[in-house]
């Protein structure tokens, strides 16, 4: 199985190499801003020409795609950036490629061809706020035989802070090929990510016929239908005291904002505190990412079928009372990791419909409660008398959902969702299953306000 996989390593550059890395990232930002200024100037020129009645065929062309932007940059780089030869051409191409992607996303969002929130028109990148990042797609890109150095175009050989043996083994066996490399400064460290095409061996889960339901939550990270409870480590909550201290310290420093609202050069200690704060946030993110990868890898390697819910994470983040706790869990990451890890491991992922009442349904007899308060942590069925932890009950309902799904793999095995519980077409999700027959779903999608003849239903 050929897959596209990324390998990320922390770099240990010399002071001179760190300056060169920052210079390449600055070159990418400069090319992005130059290209955006050229696009805006061309758009303004077209509007002016239209006001004079010039035909559409004679209007000024706008460099909209990467090819046009590269051609315009090569024609003007001698005047606008006489120092362009100090960096690799890939740095400028990286910035122009980012601009072309942003313009394409804005155009698709405006035409309704892109799902999700509306995408705004690209804005200029600030030297002080934009992330330092640069992408290399051609040239000398590789991993050295010593497995502690990487080679990047124009930058040469840079030492890594960790071993690159996993990627090096694929390259030595011929089962891997590097497609691109991206360097990024994050959390006080320089990182390099190799985008590779890997030929992975076909694998089978340890229990290919086993089905497990996974109920994600805030109190507990996950509760499995087998009864196993994975506790929530709450990495952000544990580091909150340190983060607050650093934020207060940063506010007391001589920052870039003056008392009169203007700008001023920040002090050296302000930069030190800001770097320490970024480091603390990066540590929390790394701890969370490590725990979620270990959990999803274990699930994908053990069970043949995994059932999760299609959660409205963005809606939960809109609740200011629980947004911090929800963000600390990383529910979206769990589903995203399970989607590709089950495919790589030979299993399948079934995503229950968002309106499937997993918590309100009795896992013993199938009766559905009309209401179930969030404070009720034990599910007690009034029909059969079952008393069970509500999260364990929901996980068992998710596992039982597989028996009601069509046996065709196209409906369950990492396939796009086609219909919801009511038969209407829905987008997104992998293998989303409708509400099982014989059980009435009590959850309904909240209707929009102001719609004549409709009213919202509390869920």
Distance between CA 55 and CA 53 in Å, rounded? 6
**SS3 call for 454:** coil
What integer pLDDT is reported at residue 404 of this predicted model? 63
Tell me if residue 12 is catalytic.
Answer: no
Nearest to 358 by CA among 398, 313, 314, 400: 398
Main-chain dihedrals φ then ψ at residue 416, nearest 5 degrees: -65, 145
Q: Find where tokens 């030929």 sit.
A: 199
Catalytic residue among 310, 328, 339, 391: 391
Angle, vertex CA 291, rays to CA 295 and CA 284, nearest 5: 160
Classify each residue of 68-107 as buried b or exposed e, where b means 16 or more C-beta atoms within 10 Å of its C-beta: bbbebbeeebeeebeebeebbbbbbbbbbbbbbebbbbbe
Distance between CA 132 and CA 82 in Å, rounded? 22
Q: With cut-offs at 50, 70 and 90, classify the pLDDT of residue 243.
A: very high
For residue 367, count CB atoms less than 10 angstroms from its CB and return exposed for 0-12, middle for 13-18, buried for 19 or more: middle
What integer pLDDT is reported at residue 357 of this predicted model? 87
Structure tokens at 435: 């509400």
Q: Find out whether 21 and 199 touch, Cβ atoms under 8 Å.
A: no
Q: With cut-offs at 50, 70 and 90, classify the pLDDT of residue 233.
A: very high
53: left (phi over 0), alpha (psi -120 to 50) or beta: left
What integer pLDDT is reported at residue 155 of this predicted model? 92
- Other beta carbons within 10 Å of 389: 16
Tell me if residue 328 is catalytic.
Answer: no
Q: With cut-offs at 50, 70 and 90, classify the pLDDT of residue 370.
A: confident
Catalytic residue among 90, 97, 215, 310: 215
**Residue 84, beta-bridge partner list:** none
**SS3 call for 255:** coil
* pLDDT tens track for 63-94: 999 999 999 999 999 999 999 999 999 999 99
* pLDDT tens track for 281-305: 999 999 999 999 999 999 999 999 9
Nearest to 156 by CA among 185, 183, 189: 183
Structure tokens at 110: 């405006």
Q: How far is CA 267 from CA 240, 257, 273, in A?
A: 25, 11, 10
Tell me which H or E stretch contains 180.
strand 176-186
**pTM, full prediction:** 0.81
What integer pLDDT is reported at residue 42 of this predicted model? 92
Tell me the pairing of strands 387-389 and 378-380: antiparallel
Tell me if residue 199 is catalytic.
Answer: no
Statement: residue 450 has pLDDT above 50: no
453: left (phi over 0), alpha (psi -120 to 50) or beta: left
* pLDDT tens track for 146-178: 899 999 999 999 999 999 999 999 999 999 999
End-to-end CA distance of the chain, in Å?
43
Q: What is the mean pLDDT of the chain?
A: 85
Structure tokens at 58: 């004679």
Distance between CA 144 and CA 252 in Å, rounded? 46
* pLDDT tens track for 89-124: 999 999 999 999 999 999 999 999 988 889 999 999
Q: Find out whether 133 and 184 touch, Cβ atoms under 8 Å.
A: yes
What integer pLDDT is reported at residue 405 of this predicted model? 58
For 360-378, what is the mean pLDDT?
Answer: 86
Distance between CA 251 and CA 97 in Å, rounded? 37
Catalytic residue among 309, 310, 328, 339: 309
Main-chain dihedrals φ then ψ at residue 401, nearest 5 degrees: -65, -25
């Amino acid at each position: 199985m050929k897959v596209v996989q990324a390998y990320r390593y922390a770099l240990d550059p010399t002071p001179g190499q760190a300056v060169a890395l920052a210079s390449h990232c600055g070159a990418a930002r400069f090319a992005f801003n130059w290209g955006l200024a050229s696009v805006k100037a061309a758009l303004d020129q077209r509007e002016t020409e239209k006001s004079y009645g010039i035909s559409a065929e004679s209007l000024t062309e706008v460099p909209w795609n990467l090819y046009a932007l590269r051609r315009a940059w090569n024609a003007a780089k001698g005047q606008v950036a006489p120092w362009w030869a100090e960096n690799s051409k890939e740095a400028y191409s990286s910035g122009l490629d980012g601009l072309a992607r942003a313009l394409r996303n804005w155009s698709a969002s405006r035409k309704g061809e892109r799902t999700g929130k509306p995408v705004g028109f690209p804005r200029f990148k600030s030297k002080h706020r934009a992330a330092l990042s640069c992408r290399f797609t051609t040239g000398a890109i590789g991993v050295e035989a010593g497995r502690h150095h990487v080679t990047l175009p124009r930058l040469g050989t840079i030492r890594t802070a960790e071993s690159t043996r996993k990627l090096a083994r694929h390259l030595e066996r011929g089962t891997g090929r590097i497609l691109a490399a991206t360097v990024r400064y994050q959390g006080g460290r320089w990182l390099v990510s190799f985008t590779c095409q890997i030929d992975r061996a076909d694998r089978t889960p340890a229990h290919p016929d086993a089905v497990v339901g996974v109920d994600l939550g805030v109190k507990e990270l996950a509760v499995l239908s087998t009864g196993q409870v994975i506790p929530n480590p709450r990495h952000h909550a544990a580091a909150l005291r340190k983060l607050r201290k650093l934020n207060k310290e940063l506010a007391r420093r001589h920052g870039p904002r003056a008392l009169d609202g203007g700008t001023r050069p920040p002090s050296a200690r302000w930069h030190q505190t800001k770097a320490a704060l970024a480091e603390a946030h990066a540590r929390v993110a790394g701890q969370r990412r490590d725990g979620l990868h270990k959990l999803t890898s274990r699930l994908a390697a053990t069970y043949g079928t995994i059932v999760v819910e299609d959660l409205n994470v963005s809606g939960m983040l809109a609740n200011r009372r629980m947004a911090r706790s929800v963000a600390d869990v990383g529910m979206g990451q769990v589903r995203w990791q399970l989607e590709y890890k089950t495919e790589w491991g030979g299993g399948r992922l079934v995503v229950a419909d968002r309106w499937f009442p997993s918590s309100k349904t009795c896992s013993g007899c199938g009766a559905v409660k009309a209401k179930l308060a969030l404070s009720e942590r034990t599910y007690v069925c009034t029909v059969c008398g079952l008393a069970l932890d509500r999260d364990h009950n929901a996980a068992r309902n998710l596992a039982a959902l597989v028996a009601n799904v069509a046996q065709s793999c196209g409906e369950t095995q990492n396939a796009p969702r086609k219909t919801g519980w009511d038969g209407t077409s829905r987008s997104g999700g992998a293998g989303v299953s409708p509400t099982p027959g014989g059980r009435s779903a009590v959850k309904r999608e909240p209707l929009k306000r102001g719609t004549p003849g409709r009213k919202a239903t509390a869920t």
